[in-house]
Amino acid sequence: MKEFEQCTLPNGIRLIHRYKNGVEVSHCGLIINAGSRDEGNSEQGLAHYIEHCLFKGTQKRKAYHVLSRLDNVGGELNAYTSKEETAIYASFMSAHYERAMELIVDITFRASYPEKEIAKEKEVIIDEIHSYMDSPAEQIFDEFEEQVFAGHSIGRNILGTVESVRGLTRTNILDFVHKRYRTDQMVFASVGSLPFEKVRKLAMKHLTHMHLSDEPVDRVAFDRYTPLHKEVKRDTHQVHYVLGAPAYDYAHDRKRAMVLLTNVLGGPGMNSRLNLNIREKHGIAYNIEAHYQPYTDTGLFTVYLGTDLSLLNRSKRLLRAELRKLREKKLGTAQLHQAKQQLIGHIALAQESGSSLMLALGKSALLYDRVDTTEEIFREVETITASDLLEIANEMFDERRMSSLTFL
């Protein structure tokens, strides 16, 4: 049996399903190629605001009935907004698959955006903004993206600002949905024990007649970067520091190798170089980690550390020393093998989360119009060489292209 099956519905929505025999819980969701980078200059926070407002009622359901439709059978309905996509998804007992699909379709395509309800939701989002601003360890990543992607919509905070959110209107919502919620820019992803043909028939029943827009829209690519080192005074107990630079996009043939290199440097494993050599050996950074986030036309590599002010300069020297080692010396055969096995293990564990797997399938189909099988991914990881990683390190970790942001 195929690892996953897919087809395209008559209205352009792509359907992808991963069959998992014997599981009692299924997951499905609609992933839409519309996020915060698609907002106009006066619309900051709009994509995220819409995601909240989708749950406030439809043409046939009030907000209570939207929220209780899956709750009543022990299921969960959720959503998220990123820089580049919006997802509405659910987890539930497999017997309620059609109930979940119909609900997702209803709130996406028939949301009513009642004025009273969406006005209340602004206050919820403003509380979220205030809460987020109380967490400098979270806020520094967003401010760093604004710094790196200065003047471009991909750098803006997904939540928006208090002022921008207060200024959003129902007309803004309807215009954005009309322009950006295109059926040919949607993927319905699914993981569960239903056969693909059953899922396809349900999709034909509930999704085929949905249609929103044919209006072509293009994203403006990011292409102007100037390194900048910035310090911001904040009333915090510890210093927060981010170092990084633009990196490879989603389609780049070195993307997987960049993931591997980032894991070696400061990935989730406790044996990453930054964790072993700075946190464990020297004990001078409470939290230190490296991240790589690809987008459709660019990407971002970052290293974050939190430490005491008196230890900041020493931490930065040790961090740069680790980056320099990766630029100057190839990984040994045993080190490379271990790094590959660790990444393969992380990928395999991620496959065990049905909800995460479903969203990953949908996002891959949305971006590439294809999904690599697990075997193909593992095979690609195994082909990465120590020379590949050395070349990438010299390109990505070049100190001349790095930016930094410090909250003091």
The answer to whether 52 and 171 have CB atoms below 8 angstroms apart is no
Do 242 and 146 lie in one domain? The reply is no
Do 239 and 189 lie in one domain? The reply is no
Do 125 and 78 lie in one domain? The reply is yes
DSSP state at residue 245: E
Do 137 and 245 lie in one domain? The reply is no
Full DSSP string of 172-204: HHHHHHHHH--GGGEEEEEEESS-HHHHHHHHH
Q: What is the domain range of residue 290? A: 229-407
The Cα 330–Cα 83 span in angstroms is 34
Per-residue pLDDT of the chain (408 residues; tens, 9 = 90+): 678 999 999 999 999 999 998 899 999 999 999 999 999 999 999 999 999 999 999 999 999 999 999 999 999 999 999 999 999 999 999 999 999 999 999 999 999 999 999 999 999 999 999 998 889 989 999 999 999 999 999 999 999 999 999 999 999 999 999 999 999 999 999 999 999 999 999 999 999 988 766 677 788 999 899 999 999 998 888 999 999 999 999 999 999 999 999 999 999 888 899 999 898 888 888 889 999 999 999 999 999 999 999 999 999 999 999 999 999 999 999 999 999 999 999 999 988 889 999 999 999 999 888 898 899 999 999 999 999 999 999 999 999 999 999 999
Q: Does 212 fall in a domain? A: no
The Cα 92–Cα 31 span in angstroms is 18
Do 37 and 117 lie in one domain? The reply is yes
Q: How many domains are there within the chain?
A: 2
| Residue that finishes a domain, picked among 156, 175, 206 | 206
Do 45 and 104 lie in one domain? The reply is yes
Model confidence, pTM: 0.94
